[in-house]
Structure formats: structure tokens, C-alpha cells
Amino acid sequence: MLQYPNLEKALKYNFGYDQFRPGQRQIIEDALQNRDLLIVMPTGGGKSLCFQLPALLKKGLTVVVSPLIALMQDQVEALRNNNISATFLNSSLNPYKVRSREEAILNGKVKLLYVAPERLLSERFLPFLDLVKEKIGIAAFAIDEAHCVSEWGHDFRPEYRQMKSLRKRYPDVPTLALTATATDRVRTDIIQQLGLKQPSIHIASFNRQNLYYEVRSKTKSAYAELLELVRENEGSAIIYCLTRKKVDELTFKLQNDQISALSYHAGLGDEERSNNQTRFIRDDVRVMVATIAFGMGINKPDVRLVIHFDLPRNLESYYQESGRAGRDSEPSRCTLFFSFSDIKTIEWSINQKTDPQEQLISKQQLRQVIDYAEGTVCRRTIQLGYFGERFPGNCGNCDNCRYPKPLQDWTIEAMKFLSCVARCKERFGMLHIIDVLRGGKNQKITQNEHDKLSTYGIGKDKTVDEWRMLGRSLLHQGMLEQTSDGYSVLKLNALSWEVMRRQRTVSLAIPIAQKITWEEGSEKAAEAEILLQRLRSLRKQLADEQSVPPYVIFHDSTLKLMTQVQPQTLAEFAKLSGVGSHKLAQYGEKFLAEINAYSQKQSLPEKPVNLKPSQNLLSDTELLTLQLHQQGFSVIEIAQKRNIRPTTIIRHLTDLIEKNQPIDLNQLVPLEHQQKIWQILEVLGDISLTPIREQLGESYSFDEIRLVRGKWRRENRK
């Protein structure tokens, strides 16, 4: 077994990273031994490095096959920013450019060439490749998004099928196939279709530890919750909706609420679509509201929030789409909004399908999505189980693990419900059963004389939603059946009878109002925030000068390291993960200067006057906000002066209020609003902002509620 002790050095020098991600080193060693490889890693796992680093260490050209132009450009830009000679050939180039790039390749000036599959196999290109092989050699073929070769995958591309002929033409050039698609069938298909020879197979875990998964029910306040999520989670967000119309509506609403948002769907013109995409990638706009047309080929590593505002088609799509969050391994959130009416809509469209086989598959897939959404166990266990991976649960990073829903005994209610199904002769759906239980007066009830049943009106004490929750849970727990003929008629089974005979109890997981916790950690983290914002704007400025996305300059994680370490010299700067030799030379001085300017300012603190004794509990950033507030500046003014976001200032002010500092609430919230908010808090207690706002209406802002809640918390702690 060969050893490559210098791989870490090469990694740091070329890419700036200190360590390999799990699996990467082994894969790279295999690649250096010219083995065929199948690499299955989740999105963000770090697949690209697996062929990029070997490409630099081996003789000759590495040819990367990639299905999407945007993806190619993106990767090439990122490589060039590390001074790695990479280029692409695709239909967007004029013949002159193509020729000059081909020349550079033949002169051995290029290590990585990205091409689309249709070009690779064209009459004109293959002879060129022959020439390359003869003159400088071909180090490897890397087939990205290799699942496109499989009809079982979700985006089959016929062009990929012809790739096998490459194998025949260049039998001694090793091939690496890379994909994030997990199913067995697709994997086997890739090996066959690409003609991989005794490939070394690497399958990474699909657990994305940095993603927080949660499911919320899509109630009337769903939009308000969504808004709160978007406001609370800094950084880029993608919101998926089912239809173009919904996308446009939601974008409009968000824009109205001062959120920087754009739409993306197939109904927009090519130009608008690609403009919107670019603006999102370059951080000119924060939120992308989109149909699932958006995302394939988006390599943006710093998406912090992916919301599904409608139900996804199947669990695999959900995993892939939500997985566009946090590719850079930083904490990110994936929220799914779930409603019964969404299920109905999807069921309806499934019933429109003519092929019974297709119908069956779709129904099964819908079932799995519902199981995920309604499940009360660890979300990861359900998701990973779907990919055949066993996960023990207790991940600590999903809603079910963090806020386990309390179980309540609903046996009596279940008996009422099930016997009502029995008395209605198992011929009706859920809504009718609930109507009967609650003593409804509609025609369907009178016609069937269901108002004469003993179960008529015995369930008035529960709301429709509560009964529905019970009904869904009974289905879910297998104590009730439902026909799948489009009518969803409820049927009893053996377990139902056990419940009615009191041989079995029924527990129900009761949803609780969820709090959105601010990810903000220690005081120190808050302090670092100002510097982080300054470094972000420097990064944005440098990126705009080169017309590249900001993350191409440095990732968020590297900026964060800068704020933590606050390096003073180039040597210290060079040690940060994400700083390679080229970026050090290119940007080191500029970022050091910014860090320096910041720390100098910090060392000349003008302490504000009249502070209460607890002032040592305050961070510098809070002190500064307090000082400016005392000088009479408004929130917006403070935000502008300090070049940080107004919500951050509100957060400081709220914390200051809670810490009993002299903040003049009257200056921030009109007295009348204060009183109303206070009243609600007295009734509802310390709960999240959304339900409070729901009580108060649109004329109250989340900021106002937050500030008053701060005061309320302070008073109620005493």
C-alpha cells in the first residue's frame, strides 16, 4: 500500500484547507493509483476536491464532464481564485475562444478541462482529445452528476449514455464517477453504463450534521412564521413553492415586507431567470422564492435556510432540495411546512395519472413524505432510513429531538372516533366523521340520518383540527385504514377493534408552539459580529470587482475564523483554513488591514456614562449600541452608523432591556402598542413572537413585540 504523506501539504497549498473531509484522502489515494472510482457523497460532502487535487498531482489533463453550464463556470471561477489552471468548453463560447482554449490545453497550460457531455462526444472534439492524449496525456475522466446516466435517477440525460464509448476509445484512462444520489439501483446503473472496471466504491454517510430539520404545520399564521424565519436567519435563503403562481405571490408579499427577494421559475424569460440567479449567487439579493426548477447546478455553499412552503414530491427530492442548505458545513436550517390540504392536492394529481404503475409509485412516495412530516421520532432516522442507512436517533439537531412532543392519552377520544366510523358503516371520509362527532347540521348528515346515531355530537369539546390530528395519527399508527381510490374512505382494522374493546390505548404526540432560538451564542460571538460584517463587505467589494460570487473569495467559515483569531501578520493569516497560497498573496493584506482597523478602534473604548452595576455583563457591541441609543439615535441610524443590520440592533436593545440597562422603551415602541403587547404576554406567557403577532395583527411589528417581551421577561424574572 502506497502512502502519500504530502497530501495534506498539497491540500493546504492549493485549496487552503487544513484537513481532508471524511473519505477524501482515501479516494484521492485511489485516484493517484489510477483506479476507477465510484464516489457517492451527499451534497456539500466535498466531491469536487476528490478529482481536483489528483488532477494537480498527476501528469496530463483531467477532463471533467458536467451537465450544466452554470456549474462549470462556477467551479472554474473557484479554481482560478486558487490559481489553478482550469477552463471550460461549452456552447456559450464563440469559435475564437474555443480555439484559443484548445491551444492552451495542447500547450499543457491547463490541468482541468470542464466539458458538457454532448461536446465531449462530438465528431470534432474526439480527434482533439486524441491529440491531447498524444501530446500531454489524459490523467482521468471525472463524470460529475453521474446519476444522469441512469433512467432510475431523477434527471436522466440520454447524452450521458454515450459516455461508455469513451471507455472504448481510451481504455487505459481511469474514470471517476461522482454523484449525490443514494439509491442502490442508480449506483449499479452508473457502474454498468459507464463501464467502470473493478471500481473502488466510496459511499459516504448521508447524514448532514450541520442541518437542522424541522416540520411545522401550515396554519393560518404560516406566512408570519415564514417571515420570522427569514428575518431571524441571517444569510441566503431558498423558499420552494409548488407552482409559479404561488412563487410570484410569495415573492410579492416578502418584498412588501421589506425582504430582499426574487422569483425563479420556468415561466420567466431566460434572461430574467439567469439574472435573478446571478443576483442571488452574488449576494445582491438574499431570498430566492422558486419552484423546484431552481437549484440543480447551484453550488452556492452559504445558503442558510431552505424552506419548503409546499409538500415535496418524495423524500429523495426533499433530501436533495433541502440539502442545498449549508454545503459549507456551517449550521443551517431546513423547514418543511405541512398541511392536510397539500396532501389532498397531491392525491388529486396522482389520481389524474393514467399509468397504474406510476400511480402506485407516486402514492408510495407520498406516503413516505407524510410519514416523515407526521413522524414523532428523529427526522434523521426517517430520512436516512429511506436511503438504507441506519441512524440511531437522538441527533440533537432536529425538532423532534430538541423539542419532543409530549404524549397524551387520547384513548377515549379514539374510541369515540372509531365507533363513529363503525356506525357510519365504514363508508365515509374523515371530514364527515368529524362533522358527525361535532354535531354538524349539513345535508349529508341529515340525508344519511347520521344525526340519529349515538355518536352524533359527542365530540363537541374538540375542534375540527384536533379531531383531524387524532384521525391522522390513528392512520399513522395503523389503527385505522383509508382507501386509496381517491375518496379516502375510512375503514376499520383489527387494531381499531382492539381500541374500541379497550384492549389497546392510544397516545397522541401533541404539537407545541415552537420557539425560534437565536443561534447567537456567547457575548463574544456578538462582539465578533461587527468585524464579521466589515469583512463581509470587503469580500463583497472584492467579488464585485472581479464579477464573481463572494464565496469564491473566501467562505463564511474562513471569515468567521478571521474574527475569532484576529490574525495580525500574514504568517498568522496563512494558517487559517481556507487560505491557500494564492489567496494569501491576493487578499491577505487587504483583510489584515480591515482586521487591524477594527482592533484599533476596539482598544480605544469610550465607555458610556451612567451605567448600572451589571455593565460588565455587556459585550462591547452592546455597549456601543447603548451609547448611541442614549445619544438619541434611532434604530435605523444606529444600524447605518455601525454598518450592521437593524435587526441586530433590535436584538442588542432587547438584550439590554433584559439586562436592566437604561433603554427608553417609549422611544422605540408607542405606548399604546406596549400596553397591548403586554396584555397578551400576561395571558399567553413567554412564547414565540408569531402567535403574539397573530393576536395583534399586522400593524404590530415583530421588533416591537420583541422589545416589549424583553421588558416583560425582565419584570417577570424578579
Nearest residue (CB) to ligand ADP, 45 versus 295 = 45
According to the binding rule CB under 5 A, does residue 238 interact with Zn ion?
no
Say what the alpha-carbon torsion angle 232, 238, 239, 243 is, to the nearest 10 degrees. Answer: 170
Partner whose binding site includes residue 328, from Zn ion, ligand ADP, none (CB under 5 to 8 Å by kind):
ligand ADP
Q: What is the DSSP letter of 408?
A: E
Measured CA to CA, the distance from residue 136 to residue 154 in angstroms comes to: 37
| Least Å from the CB of residue 206 to ligand ADP | 12
Closest to ligand ADP by CB, 43 or 625: 43
Least CB distance to ligand ADP at residue 3 (A)? 19
Please report which residue ranges of 110-175 form alpha helices under DSSP H: 117-120, 125-135, 158-161, 164-169
624 binding partner (options ligand ADP, Zn ion, none; Cβ < 5 to 8 Å by kind): none
For the bound state, the minimum distance from the C-beta of residue 334 to Zn ion, rounded and expressed in Å, comes to 12
The torsion angles phi and psi of 460, rounded to 5 degrees, stand at: -70, -20
Nearer to Zn ion by Cβ, of 302 and 399: the residue is 399
Contact (CB, 8 A) for 321 and 308: yes
* Min separation Cβ 54 and ligand ADP, Å: 13
Minimum gap (Å) between residue 75 Cβ and ligand ADP: 8
Alpha-carbon radius of gyration of the chain: 29
Distances (CA, A) of 456 to 427, 448, 451, 489: 16, 12, 6, 19
Q: Which is nearer to ligand ADP, 507 or 564 (CB)?
A: 564
- DSSP bridge partners of 177: 38, 143
DSSP 488: -
- ∠ CA 87-89-94 to the nearest 5 degrees? 115
Q: Residue 395 binds what, of ligand ADP, Zn ion, none (CB under 5 to 8 Å, by partner type)?
A: Zn ion
How many residues in the shown chain lie near Zn ion by CB under 5 A?
A: 5
For residues 214, 220, 223, 228, the Cα torsion angle rounded to the nearest 10 degrees is -60
Nearer to ligand ADP, 20 or 387 (CB): 20
580: left (phi over 0), alpha (psi -120 to 50) or beta: beta
What are the contacts of 150-158 at 24+ separation with CB within 8 A?
150/181, 150/185, 150/186, 150/189, 150/190, 150/193, 151/189, 152/183, 152/185, 152/186, 152/189, 153/181, 153/186, 153/189, 154/181, 154/316, 154/317, 154/320, 155/67, 155/296, 157/67, 157/117
CA angle 98, 103, 108 (to 5 degrees): 130
In angstroms, what is the minimal distance from the CB of 67 to ligand ADP?
13
For residue 49, the partner it binds in Zn ion, ligand ADP, none, with Cβ less than 5 to 8 A by kind, is ligand ADP
Q: Could you tell me the smallest distance in angstroms from the CB atom of residue 17 to ligand ADP?
A: 4
Of 202 and 416, nearer to ligand ADP (C-beta) is 202
Q: Based on the shown chain and the rule CB under 5 A, indicate whether residue 334 belongs to the binding site for Zn ion.
A: no
With respect to Zn ion, which residue has the nearer C-beta, 179 or 400? Answer: 400
Q: Report the nearest approach of ligand ADP to the CB of residue 555 (Å).
A: 6
The C-alpha cell of 368 is what?
Answer: 413516505
User: What mask of x and - would describe binding to Zn ion in positions 398 to 437, judged by CB under 5 A?
Assistant: x--x------------------------------------
Least separation in angstroms between residue 445's CB and Zn ion is 43
CA dist 78 → 103, 281, 373, 602, 622 (Å) = 22, 13, 37, 34, 37
Interatomic CA distance for residues 30 and 430, integer angstroms: 57
- Quick one: which H or E segment has residue 115? strand 112-115
What is the pattern of x (binds Zn ion, CB under 5 A) and - over residues 354-393?
A: ------------------------x-x-------------
Least Å distance between CB 589 and ligand ADP? 23
Strand, helix or coil at 512? Answer: coil
Which residues contact ligand ADP (rule: CB under 6 A)?
A: 17, 19-21, 24, 41, 43-49, 299, 301, 327-328
378 binds, among Zn ion, ligand ADP, none (CB under 5 to 8 A by kind): Zn ion
Report the Cα 65 to chain-centroid distance in Å: 26
CB-wise, 44 or 440, nearer to ligand ADP? 44
Among Zn ion, ligand ADP, none, partner that 327 touches (CB below 5 to 8 angstroms by kind)? ligand ADP
Helix, strand, or coil (residue 496): helix
Nearer to ligand ADP, 49 or 526 (CB): 49
Residue 392 or 632: the one with the smaller Cβ distance to Zn ion is: 392
Minimum CB–partner distance for residue 115 and ligand ADP (Å)? 17
CA atoms within 13 A on the CB side of 362: 18
CB closer to ligand ADP out of 181 and 314: 181
Asked whether position 395 contacts Zn ion by CB under 5 A, the answer is: yes
Which CB, 297 or 331, lies closer to Zn ion?
A: 331
Alpha carbon of residue 64 to chain centroid:
27
Cβ at position 329, least distance to ligand ADP in Å: 7
Residue 696: which of 669, 714, 716 has the closest Cα? Answer: 669
Contact partner at residue 398 from ligand ADP, Zn ion, none, CB < 5 to 8 Å by partner kind? Zn ion
Q: Which of ligand ADP, Zn ion, none does residue 419 bind (CB under 5 to 8 Å by kind)?
A: none
Q: Return the number of the residue (43 or 181) whose C-beta is nearest ligand ADP.
A: 43
Partner from ligand ADP, Zn ion, none contacting 263, C-beta within 5 to 8 A by type = none
Binder of residue 549, out of ligand ADP, Zn ion, none (CB less than 5 to 8 A by kind) = none
Q: How far is the CB of 653 from Zn ion (least distance, A)?
A: 34
Give all strands of the β-sheet with 138-143 in edge-to-edge order: 86-89, 112-115, 61-65, 138-143, 175-179, 37-40, 200-203
Quick one: cell of 311?
409538500
Q: How far is the CB of 382 from Zn ion (least distance, A)?
A: 9
549 vs 608 by CB, closer to ligand ADP? 549
| Residues of the shown chain interacting with Zn ion in the complex, contacts defined by CB under 5 A | 378, 380, 395, 398, 401
